[in-house]
């Protein structure tokens, strides 16, 4: 079978004589600039699209690099053989990133066609894999007239697409994205030294029993003050830390720091044995086969009983390697750790996950709670979720309670516990005693 051959008439045929990528048989990165230059000579408004496999490192870490290479080879073969893609010059741009040159007719439709081909189920070495991809697009002459400009700007758009919490299908470059990319670079670089420089800190937000107001526990929340950017939201820097792998060291520091403070926090709560420490867990951490063992060792090191820890996982954790996720969670539960499903109902998962996952707690996202006082459609959805969770034996914690009306509603729905600004904002551990005393009085 021949390697990729560009469509006759596009001025690209001479490039096919170059040595193809040894793994995918597509043209290699060395040909990228020439591919774009030749396309620009033929299509004045040609576009460059970079396509990247989301969280591909999880495949390498879970199944080995040999299977990862087999995935890339199979995907390259698919791009070569797929109907409707033969006219788009393509190359393996590097690692798990592919480059396509699109013509001037309908760039968005072409990008969507390629994305759908990439995300078709893939069978490799007796494993069925469902890939997801992110795409960045830059089009001439709007985003540059030279190959280097389009390559740089499509990469900027790709990074913004990948920074989305649940992934963005395709992002086109703009001047605003260039500014966003600059900020992202500052965040990524700053995170590398944030731990070393002591810029990260842990704050705690109390959770209360809905019925009688007793203190249920606290959720540990990560905060970062960048020396130039100021306070950076976790919603912005955590996805970047996940993509770069820095979330592993940050997550371990978070658990160690919060765990070391647990003893004092429980003293403030009156030595209540049911007092729990909740910590958020990333899909990247949970994907590590040795995570459960390392976590249990860390808890022993800081003196935190497993039964006092509650790990909060989001839907992104469920969507990545479901079988391995369930195995890890079952192991942790057997050790006594409680599992909470955080932000449930805000992503792509279905209620069927409630019966499949070994969980103890469902955290009702604030998006359901906050419009509820206006009798929005979310009210009915929230009531249904709470009722189903209770029938499955899950404890329900309502997040984002900010008004008395919302508190009354979540109590009426049957929520077991609540947290939110109405009750207490996140505070430093040194201030938690004052908060608890004031609440008790």
Please tell me the pTM assigned to this model.
0.66
Task: Supply 401's token pair.
Answer: 């309670």
CB atoms within 10 A of CB 375: 10
**Run of H or E including 129:** strand 127-129
Instruction: Report the pLDDT averaged over residues 184-206.
Output: 88
Question: d(Cα 123, Cα 238) in Å, to the nearest integer?
Answer: 32
The one-character DSSP state at 15 is: G
CA quadruple 166, 169, 175, 177: dihedral, nearest 10? 20
Query: Do 30-173 and 185-440 fold alike per CATH?
Result: no
Using the predicted structure, report yes or no on whether residue 201 has a pLDDT greater than 50.
yes
Point out which residues pair with 17 in neighbouring strands: none
Angular region, 124: left φ>0, alpha ψ -120 to 50, beta rest: beta
User: Distance of CA 277 to CAs 177, 286, 397, Å?
Assistant: 38, 18, 14
Q: How far is Cα 58 from Cα 82, in angstroms, rounded to an integer?
A: 26
Note the pLDDT of residue 166. 42
CA distance 400 to 392: 23
Task: Determine the Cα–Cα distance for residues 36 and 47; give it in Å rounded to an integer.
Answer: 8
196 burial class (0-12, 13-18, 19+ CB within 10 angstroms)?
Answer: exposed
* Residue 236 vs residue 361, higher pLDDT: 361
Separation CA 291–CA 288 (nearest Å):
5
Q: Which two tokens stand for residue 200?
A: 């990260």
Q: Per-residue pLDDT tens for 408-432? A: 989 999 999 999 999 999 998 878 7
Q: Give pLDDT tens digits for 274-289.
A: 789 999 998 888 878 8
- Is 214 strand, coil or helix? coil
C-alpha–C-alpha distance, residues 112 and 121, integer Å: 16
Q: If you average pLDDT over residues 294-321, what whole number do you get?
A: 84
User: Tell me, what's the pLDDT at 1?
Assistant: 31
CA–CA gap between residue 309 and residue 372 (Å, rounded): 30
pLDDT at 173: 45
Rounded Cα distance between 133 and 345, Å, is 22
- Asked whether 113 and 85 are in contact (CB, 8 A), the reply is yes
Q: State the chain's mean pLDDT as an integer.
A: 80
Residue 348 has pLDDT above 60, yes or no: no
Peptide bond preceding 145 in cis form (omega within 30 of 0): no
| Res 440: pLDDT | 59
User: Residue ranges of the domains in the chain?
Assistant: 30-173, 185-440
| CATH superfamily of domain region 185-440 | EAL domain (3.20.20.450)
| 358 close to 330: Cβ distance less than 8 angstroms | yes
Q: Give the integer Cα–Cα distance in Å for 366 and 419.
A: 10
In sequence order, which ranges of 119-246 are alpha helices (DSSP H)? 147-163, 175-194, 234-244
Kindly state the average pLDDT of the residues 161-169: 58
- Compare 175 and 296 and report the one with higher pLDDT: 296
pLDDT beyond 50 at 394: yes
**CATH number corresponding to 30-173:** 3.30.70.270
pLDDT of amino acid 186? 81
The conformation of residue 350, written as its DSSP 8-state character, comes to -
The DSSP bridge partners found for residue 171 are: 136
Looking at 22-26, 27-31, 84-88, which range is the least confident one?
A: 84-88
Q: Average the pLDDT over 362-390 and give the result.
A: 76
Take residue 22 and report the two structure tokens written for it: 């040894």
- Please state the rounded mean pLDDT for residues 5-9: 40
Specify the 3-state DSSP secondary structure of 431: helix
- What is the arrangement of strands in the sheet containing 90-94, beginning at the earlier edge strand? 90-94, 97-102, 47-53, 133-139, 170-172
* d(C-alpha 374, C-alpha 370), whole Å: 9
CA-atom Rg of the chain in angstroms = 25
């Amino acid at each position: 079978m021949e390697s990729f051959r560009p469509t006759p008439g596009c001025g690209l045929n001479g490039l096919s004589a170059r040595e193809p990528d040894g793994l995918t048989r597509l043209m290699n990165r060395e040909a990228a600039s020439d591919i774009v230059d030749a396309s620009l000579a033929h299509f004045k408004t040609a576009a460059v699209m970079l396509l990247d496999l989301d969280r591909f490192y999880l495949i390498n870490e879970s199944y080995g690099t040999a299977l990862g290479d087999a995935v890339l080879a199979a995907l390259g073969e698919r791009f070569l053989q797929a109907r409707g893609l033969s006219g788009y010059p393509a190359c393996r741009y590097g690692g798990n990133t592919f480059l396509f040159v699109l013509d001037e007719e309908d760039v968005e439709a072409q990008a969507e066609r390629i994305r759908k081909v990439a995300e078709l189920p893939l069978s490799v070495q007796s494993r069925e894999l469902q890939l997801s991809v992110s795409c960045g697009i830059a089009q001439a002459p709007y985003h540059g007239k030279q190959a280097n400009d389009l390559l740089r700007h499509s990469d900027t758009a790709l990074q913004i697409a990948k920074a989305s919490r649940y992934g963005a299908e395709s992002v086109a470059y703009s001047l605003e994205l260039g500014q966003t990319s600059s900020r992202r670079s500052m965040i990524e670089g700053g995170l590398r030294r944030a731990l070393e420089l002591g810029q990260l800190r842990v704050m705690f937000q109390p959770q209360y029993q809905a019925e009688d107001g007793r203190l249920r526990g606290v959720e540990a929340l990560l905060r970062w003050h960048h020396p130039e950017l100021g306070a950076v939201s976790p919603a912005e820097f955590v996805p970047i830390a996940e993509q770069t792998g820095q979330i592993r060291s940050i997550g371990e520091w978070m658990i160690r720091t919060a765990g070391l403070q647990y003893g004092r926090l429980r003293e403030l709560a009156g030595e209540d044995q049911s007092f729990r420490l909740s910590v958020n867990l990333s899909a990247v951490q949970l994907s590590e086969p040795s995570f459960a063992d390392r976590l249990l060792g860390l808890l022993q090191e800081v003196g935190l009983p497993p039964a006092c820890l509650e790990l909060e996982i989001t839907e992104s954790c469920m969507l990545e390697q479901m079988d391995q996720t369930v195995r890890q969670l079952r192991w942790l539960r057997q050790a006594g750790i409680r599992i909470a499903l955080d932000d449930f109902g805000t992503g792509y998962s279905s209620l069927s996950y409630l019966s499949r996952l070994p969980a103890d707690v469902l955290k009702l996202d604030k998006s359901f709670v906050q419009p509820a006082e206006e009798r929005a459609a979310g009210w009915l959805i929230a009531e249904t979720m709470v009722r189903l969770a209770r029938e499955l034996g899950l404890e329900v914690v309502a997040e984002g309670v900010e008004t008395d009306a919302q508190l009354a509603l979540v109590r009426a729905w049957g929520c077991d516990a609540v947290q939110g600004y109405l009750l207490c904002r996140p505070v430093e551990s040194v201030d938690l005693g004052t908060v608890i005393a004031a609440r008790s009085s």
